[in-house]
């Protein structure tokens, strides 16, 4: 059995933000979700999030995917662990994690779990810093930890040590709950510190192992907006490097942001300032030009998306979209379609090889195959109270500046004349013209302008 205690009760005063610290996002996803997702990949059975300040936002976001313990008041790291009473009678290993350390990888957690054995029932992550600053120094003898010395308590020799405690632990769960009552608050802050477990375990004859992680940035805690930006850059580089190694052509990795949940096919070309968020899945040979934003999008193969925004939608293959198009709310675009500049679609099914070249709004609409939309077409789907659906058949030609007042059904092989406002169904093969006949009043133009 593998459990995890995630300490996410802190206020994060240095963030200078109304938002709970661990709800700040990295590559479009809150810190707590990054940690949750990684623990899922590792196969952690019991996840207890210890919450305090702003707990409502964390609990609303993660809902019933995890268990919760409330730390109020907040009296130190060991005090946070003590609140996770759900795990008191469990066996196996328990990870103890800071909620503001979202970058730790699946591989690191697996290594930490592997190193935690009967011989070494307490293992903690360490790293080496050029400037250890105020971090606790690691005093070791071979692969055994003797003690952690806080910066203010270091002697001249100890202060030169650059290996520091990262604050991430794995421990035998039965021993954890056996020895937690021995942690006291006899210190200037009157708080209970998890680091005291090192001396307690050693006092009872147990070995404690310090496990060095070479990339110190992976272990970084996030306590300010500056550190949030630094963490985002680290994860951005890691994600982009992975996809480039898989054959994705990211032209400017420093200006491309890809979600950790995205999947991208080989030979896709991604231009600068593209952002791919959520659980987007992209096939091979796609081209995404500058300024494109995708969120929870399934994209087939061989598409070109030019400076456009697509969310919660599915696009087939060999489709051209944009520039400056907007597809949202469950659009489904079939193969070989052309959706041009300044076209917006909302909840639209757009059939095979249909074309909508420019300046058009389609909402709550089903479009058949081989249809063509002129400039300025609008499906008028909202009457101020309800949304209505428009049904358009195959091989339909719709002229420029046509309004379709939903609900309305347009049959196959129909033509809607430019400038028409269509309020009634049009049967298969018909031509619909719905516009006022033009009237000329000689000389009235001069009269109007002379006013």
What's the rounded Cα separation, in Å, for the pair 420 and 436? 9
Nearest to 52 by CA among 75, 25, 73: 73
What's the rounded Cα separation, in Å, for the pair 58 and 308? 32
Task: Please work out, in degrees rounded to the nearest 5, the angle formed at the alpha carbon of residue 65 by the alpha carbons of 240 and 295.
Answer: 35
H/E stretch holding 81? helix 77-82
Please tell me which residue in 206, 358, 389, 395 is annotated as part of the active site. Answer: 358
What's the rounded Cα separation, in Å, for the pair 206 and 124? 14
Nearest to 126 by CA among 219, 242, 23: 219
* Cα 225 from chain centroid (whole Å): 18
**String of DSSP letters for 208-252:** EEEEE-S-GGGG----SHHHHHHHHHHHHHHHHHHHHHTT-EES-
Structure tokens, 38: 């990684």
Nearest to 46 by CA among 4, 90, 102: 4
Catalytic site residue 24?
Answer: no
Nearest to 95 by CA among 31, 29, 43, 20: 43
Catalytic residues: 358
């Amino acid at each position: 059995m593998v459990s995890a205690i995630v300490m996410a009760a802190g206020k994060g005063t240095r963030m200078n933000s109304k938002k709970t610290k661990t709800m700040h996002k990295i590559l479009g996803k809150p810190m707590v979700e990054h940690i949750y997702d990684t623990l899922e990949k590792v196969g952690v059975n019991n996840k207890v999030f210890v919450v305090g300040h702003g707990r409502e936002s964390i609990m609303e976001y993660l809902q019933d995917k995890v268990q919760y313990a409330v730390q109020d008041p907040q009296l130190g790291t060991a005090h946070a662990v003590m609140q996770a009473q759900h795990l008191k009678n469990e066996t196996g290993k328990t990870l103890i994690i800071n909620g503001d350390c979202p970058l730790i990888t699946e591989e690191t957690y697996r290594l930490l779990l592997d190193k935690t054995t009967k011989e070494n029932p307490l293992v903690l992550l360490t790293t080496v810093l050029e400037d250890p600053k105020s971090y606790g120094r690691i005093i070791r003898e071979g692969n055994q930890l003797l003690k952690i010395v806080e910066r203010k308590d270091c002697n001249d020799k100890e202060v030169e040590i650059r290996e520091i405690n990262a604050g991430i632990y794995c421990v035998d769960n039965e021993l954890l709950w056996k020895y937690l009552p021995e942690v006291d608050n006899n210190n200037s802050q009157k708080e209970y510190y998890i680091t005291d477990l090192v001396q307690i375990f050693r006092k009872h004859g147990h070995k404690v192992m310090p496990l060095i992680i070479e990339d110190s940035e992976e272990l970084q805690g996030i306590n300010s907006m500056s550190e949030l930006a630094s963490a985002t850059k680290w994860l951005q580089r890691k994600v982009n490097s992975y996809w480039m190694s898989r054959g994705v052509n990211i032209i400017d990795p420093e200006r491309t942001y890809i979600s950790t949940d995205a999947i991208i096919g080989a030979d896709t070309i991604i231009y600068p300032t593209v952002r791919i968020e959520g659980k987007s899945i992209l096939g091979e040979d796609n081209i995404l030009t500058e300024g494109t934003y995708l969120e929870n999008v399934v994209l087939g193969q061989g598409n070109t998306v030019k400076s456009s925004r697509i969310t919660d939608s599915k696009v087939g293959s060999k489709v051209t979209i944009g520039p400056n198009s907007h597809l949202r709310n469950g659009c489904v675009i079939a193969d070989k379609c052309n959706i041009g500049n300044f076209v917006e679609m909302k909840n639209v099914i757009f059939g095979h090889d249909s074309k909508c070249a420019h300046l058009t709004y389609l909402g709550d609409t089903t479009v058949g195959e081989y249809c063509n939309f002129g400039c300025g077409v609008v499906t008028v789907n909202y009457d101020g109270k309800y949304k209505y659906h428009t049904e358009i058949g195959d091989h339909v030609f719709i002229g420029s500046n046509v309004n379709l007042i939903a609900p309305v059904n347009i049959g196959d092989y129909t033509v809607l004349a430019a400038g028409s406002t269509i309020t009634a169904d049009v049967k298969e093969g018909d031509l619909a013209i719905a516009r006022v006949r033009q009237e000329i009043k000689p000389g009235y133009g001069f009269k109007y302008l002379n006013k």
